[in-house]
Amino acid sequence: MKASWASFFIFLYVLAMLRPVFPLFEYIVDQDYIAEFLCINKEKVEMQCNGKCYLMQRLNEQNEEKKQNLPKIAMEEYPIGFIDVLAIPAQKTGITGSTSVLHYSNNYSFLFSDSSFRPPSLRV
């Protein structure tokens, strides 16, 4: 049962990864039909478009659709870990243009222990 679910999700993943290149596959498979009926520049034979204009139009439509579906992310709503990104004050520069250290706190601590860890031994 787990194998069938795993293969189903792998199939969905592969399908999602192939979606951006689907218009290219469609163009390769139906190139003659696209060049004859759907090409925008079929009157201009000297351009030798052969349906590439239709392919570019489909790729642009897909890019526009992708841009419209992306949600706007406000970084204020998603802080990184326990750090509030917006609460960090900017360092001010002095007259010389160099930054100065306003405050230094030594938060380093070390716990020394005499006992050394020894894993259990197997006696055979």
Residue range 80-120, pLDDT digits in tens: 665 555 555 666 555 555 555 567 777 777 777 767 777 77
Q: What is the DSSP letter of 80?
A: B
Closest CA to 40 of 56, 26, 22, 64: 56
Q: What is the pTM of this model?
A: 0.45
The 3-class SS string of 20-38 reads: HHHHHHHHHHCHHHHHHHH
For residue 35, how many other CB atoms are within 10 A of its CB?
19
CA–CA distance from 18 to each of 21, 25, 26, 32, 68 (Å)? 6, 10, 12, 23, 19
